[in-house]
Structures are given as structure tokens and as C-alpha cells.
Amino acid sequence: MDQGFDDTNGRGCNFSYATALSHDERTAYVSNWGKKSVSVVDTQSAELIKTLRVGTHPSALALNPTNDELYVANTDSDSISVIDTTEKRVVRSFSVSPYPGAPVGTSPNALAVSPDGHQLYVANAGNNDVAVVELGEEGGGPDRVEGLIPTAWYPTGVAVSPDGDGLLVVNAKGLGAGPNPGGPVPIEDPESPPGQYIGSMIEGTLSTIPVPGEERLIDYTERVAENNSFDKGLEKAAAVLKNIKHVIYVINENRTYDQVLGDLPRGNGDPSLTLFGPDVAPNHHNLAEQFTTLDNLYAAGEVSNDGWEWSTAASANTFNQKSWPTNYGGRGFLYTGEGYSLAAAPGRVPENSYIWDALSRKGISFRNYGFWATDTPPVDVWNEPNLEAHTDKQFPGYNLAIRDQFRYREWLSEFRGFEERGNMPAVQFVKFPNDHTCGTDPACPTPQAMVADSDWATGKLVDKVSHSQFWKSTAIFQIEDDAQDGPDHVDAHRTIGHVISPYTQVGEVDSTFYSSVSMLRTMEMIMGLSPLTQFDAAANPMLNSFTTEPDFTPYEAVKPKQSLNEPNPKNGPMAKQSSKMDFSVEDQAPWQALNRAIWKSVYGGDSTMPAPEHNLPIEEEEEE
């Protein structure tokens, strides 16, 4: 059967996912995870009979045991398609979205049918629940979602007991990572067991759930709504945001809060974990103190692969979530984020899933500097013609051999043109990736030099904008795409970020719980965009960082005392291991070893890096 390969990297693949047989076993149905189709195959001849159009990114299949209906989970349409296996056609579909008008995000990805054929159970990975669906009469419907059963994190499997009274639910992420007391395994010891890091710590769980009665299901449904903030509603833009007409979105690579800002005299930091203090990252320190200190901001993704999806689409879909552990574990497959595969695009219309697509639909101008771009100018943009049309082709993508100073100068050349013309795009996307570092690879500058390079570029960008005619109407948002599981005394997802504008120049600490999606949601509110997914619809917008009394004082960038050219010594700590790491693509180097190399480059070869924490604070309920 044609697998639909469009190119050598597999970016156009069908990615066949599940197979189901008709009752007579003469026909097989194959869901094509990367497409919007189900293939119908004759099992006797192994020939493709026809291709059925269903919803976006179909995954799980389930055959009704009492009739000829086949159910298809359309993971990025938040819907179920129903196929009549006798007529081999789609006869109807229905939504499993949690509320009317909900954007995408439910992620149905596992199905089970009750023995009597009357109920369909749908595991919704995005909402952490199982939907209980009362199926309509064969061939007609209507089908009705009766309620939702709460589960643990990211349910990816569901089965019904033979008597129909119980459910077994597999939760891929279980109860999360929790603390990491063991820390990374010494890279020098090849006999050590696999290291504990964010990609290997999370353990799945199995839940045994009695099928609830009517009253219990009502209670369960209310609990799911509360857990997911479904009742929060869509936020209205605060009046202060209406003063902002321009947004610059800067994304860096892979630092925790404590690694950079743990030594700030205010905020929830641990100075013993700080690697890049004021001598290395003076601008991050000054921005945090002059504007707002965000000490409760978290990267939504675990790695760059899903971190970039969360940072630009407010979701990482099941294709991305289920495939990156294989890639990061060194077991093959491909890096799916940043446009490498449209199967990773989470929207109902995958070709229009990202914030720049929403901008384009509303006719809002934007310019791209490095997002989804190839490494060396003139760049191309992966699988996203809409973004490519608005891209500066001379601005490099991820390439650690190119300094962020070069990237800044290229951005500056266009910004000067904006100043001369008196207008600039409403939104700019800027990538300064060099704080990722190359560890202690002798072919690279030291980690301190590379972080200083990125800090200096970020500081100069803020300086230039704040001294321009656009300052009074501009907000600059900076964040890391992920935190690389580095040391942090609160959680290894906690990261550095800033909201920089005259309306955030308050010099205070904002400890509101924010994430990558909160930042994206705030930008959407400024630009008048609807939420991209259920996640940004429910996220806390960063309104507590803003004031109605602006301070138009410009920012003065500070050049790091740290040399930007300091080379790694040939015999530095873990130099041999770092030299063998792959830095050609984000996160292909082993995190445990890279984090240890960075730590030892700062604190010496005999030092021991503290274990990262995964211990998000839980808000306690107030006593009545």
C-alpha cells in the first residue's frame, strides 16, 4: 500500500497508525495519522480499495461488536467519524469538544465500545478525561456525549471489561515527573543505568474505573471542567493592552530560571544554582529588575521538539507527544517540531495552526527572523509557505556556529528601514538560539561566552526598540522554548522570560503562574486574535505584569563583562564527550551529559551538578 512519502525526511507521510478488521475479516481499515483519511484495504488481495475522508489526524479505530459501525478518533478535529463497514463509507461524525465553540485541544486518541454496543468511550489526551458517548441507532444517530470521567495525565488507552461495568485507562504521563533525587547518570560510566531526566522520568499509570451511574457522571463532568478551566471563559483584553500596537516575540534556547536569575536579590531564586550571573547575562538581570521579575513562569514543553509547538501553536499534538521520546531516546524516527512534519500541526486545518496563520487570516502584518528557518542564509522555511513569505532570508535559523550578534545585526538592518519609513510589522518573530551552548566542545566558545552572546543580542534589541519612535506602542516578549531540564530548585520546567514595554516597567515581582501558553495568549489579546487551542483559552494572560501608568524611560543595554570569544579549552571538563555531541539540530545532544558539562565548565571538573527538580507547586484550597 502506498505510504504517501513525499520526500526523504518523511515530512509528507501518511504515518499509518491503527488497523481494524471488518467482522468478516475481508476488509481492513487503516487510519492515516498524518493525513485526513482512512485507507480501505482488501485483505485477500492486499489492494487499496478506496480512501475515505475523515477528520484531521485520525488515530484510534474501534469496531462496534453488535453492528457494522467503525469509529475513528480524529485527534486534531476533536471529533469521531463513523464508517459503515458494509457500504464502506463515512455515514456521520460528531464532536467530543468539551463546550460549544471550543477550539481544538481535546485530542481524542483511544476508543472502546461497550459489549452491548450502546456506549463509546473516548480517551481525550488533551483534556485528561474519558468521554462517555451514548451511540445513536445504527446508521442514523444522533450520538450524544453524556459526560466526562477524569483521569490522570494524558490518557492514551481505554478498554471495557467483558461485563461492561468497568474501564481500564492507560495514562501515558501518569502523575507527572515529580522530584528527581537520583540526578543524571555520570556520562563517564557507560555501564550505568539510563539517566533520569524529564524524558525518562515520567511513568505511565493504569486506572481501574467503575462505569459511573448518572449522578456520579454529573459530578465527574463538573470535576473535569474545573480541572481544565472550561468554565473560565474567554478573557477580554484589558484596557491597558489596547495601548500596544506592536509585538516582538523573542525565543531563546533552553535555560531554567535559577541558571540565570537565581541570584537576583528578589524573587524565588536559588543563587547556588546560578551559572550565568550579571557578568555573563547582565541584560537578563537588568530587564528582570527594571521591568517585571517573572519567577513563576514555566516552559510548557519538555524538549525543543514540543516546546516550539507550545510556543507557536499553544499545543503539542499527539503525533508530536508520542514521537519525540523515540527520537530523543536515540531509537530513530524524526524531529517533528518546527515544521519538519505537518502531522505535528495541531489545528483542525493543520496548514493554518500557528499564530502567524491567525495573523494572516486577520490581515495583520508580521515578519519572521529565524523561526522554522534552515541554518545558513539564504534560508528556507520548513513546510510553511505562509511563514516563508514573511521571512528575512538573510537571518539564520538554528546554527550555533553563527553568533547571535550576526543575527542582531541582520534584524537591525531591517529595523532601521522600519524607522525610516515610520512603520513596522505588527508582530515580529526573532530567534536568538545561542544560549543553548555547545557544552565544553573545544570547537566552540565556552557556555558562558555563548550565553553572553545571546544576552547581549537580546539587550541590544530592547535598547534599540526603546530608543525608537515605536517604543510607546510596543511590547517585547522573551522566553526559552524549553528549559532543557536544567537545575532549578522549583521545577526543571521553570524558565526565564520577560514582558518588556513602557506598561510593564514597574520594577516589581510578578509571581502569577504563567507558562509559554500564557505568553502566547497575551500576544493574541493584544492583536485581537481568538485562542488557537483550548490551552491558551484557559491560560492566565500576563495582565498582572502590566500597569495603566506607563514609564517611557528607554532601556540601556549592558555589554557583558564575559568575553564573547572565550574558547573552550582542549582539555576542559567533559571536552571529549561534548565534542562527540550532535549540535546540528536542537536537543540532539544528550541532555544529562550536556547539562553536566555546562555545570562543570562554570564550577570546575570536580563539582557535582545538583539534580533537577520536577515539583510544581500546588495551590492549596482555602479553609472555609
Euclidean distance between CA atoms 252 and 248, whole angstroms: 13
Whether residues 191 and 252 fall in one domain: no
> Do 293 and 267 touch, CB atoms closer than 8 A?
yes
Judge if 447 and 564 occupy the same domain.
yes
Q: CA gyration radius for the chain?
A: 25
96 and 211 fall within a common domain: yes
- pTM of the shown model: 0.90
Tens of pLDDT, residue by residue over 208-267, are 999 999 999 999 999 999 999 886 655 556 778 999 999 999 999 989 999 999 999 999
Set of cell numbers at residue 489: 530548585
State the residue range of the domain holding 367.
245-304+352-515+523-603
Same domain, 442 and 489: yes
Nearest-10 Cα torsion for 532, 537, 543, 545: -70
pLDDT in tens, 295-334: 999 999 888 889 999 999 999 999 999 988 877 777 777 7
Dihedral of the alpha carbons of 154, 159, 163, 164, in degrees to the nearest 10: 50
Distance CA 279, CA 434 (A): 17
Cα-Cα end-to-end distance for the chain: 63
User: In this predicted model, which residue has the larger pLDDT, 5 or 64?
Assistant: 64
In a domain, 342, yes or no: no
The answer to whether 168 and 158 have CB atoms below 8 angstroms apart is yes
Are the CB atoms for 19 and 1 separated by under 8 Å?
no
pLDDT single digits (tens) 96-109: 999 999 999 999 99
* Same domain, residue pair 184 and 287: no
Q: Do 199 and 290 fall into the same domain?
A: no
Q: Are 590 and 199 in contact (CB under 8 A)?
A: no
Phi, then psi, of 111 in degrees rounded to 5: -135, 150
Mean pLDDT, to the nearest integer, of 413-441?
96
Query: From CA 496, how far away is CA 259, in angstroms rounded?
Result: 9
Per DSSP, 353 falls in state: -
Q: How many CB atoms lie within 10 A of CB 263?
A: 17
The CATH code of the domain that includes 283 is: 3.40.720
Least Cα distance to 367 among 318, 447, 430, 315 occurs for: 430
Judge whether residue 158 has pLDDT over 90.
Answer: yes
In a domain, 293, yes or no: yes
Tell me the C-alpha distance between 398 and 381, whole Å. Answer: 12
pLDDT at 551 over 80: yes
CATH of the domain at 184: 2.130.10.10
Asked whether residue 609 carries a pLDDT value surpassing 90, the answer given is: no
Number of domains in the chain: 2
| Whether 250 contacts 458, CB under 8 Å | yes
* Residue 158 included in any domain: yes
Collapsing DSSP states into helix, strand and coil, what is residue 52? strand
- pLDDT mean over 39-64: 96
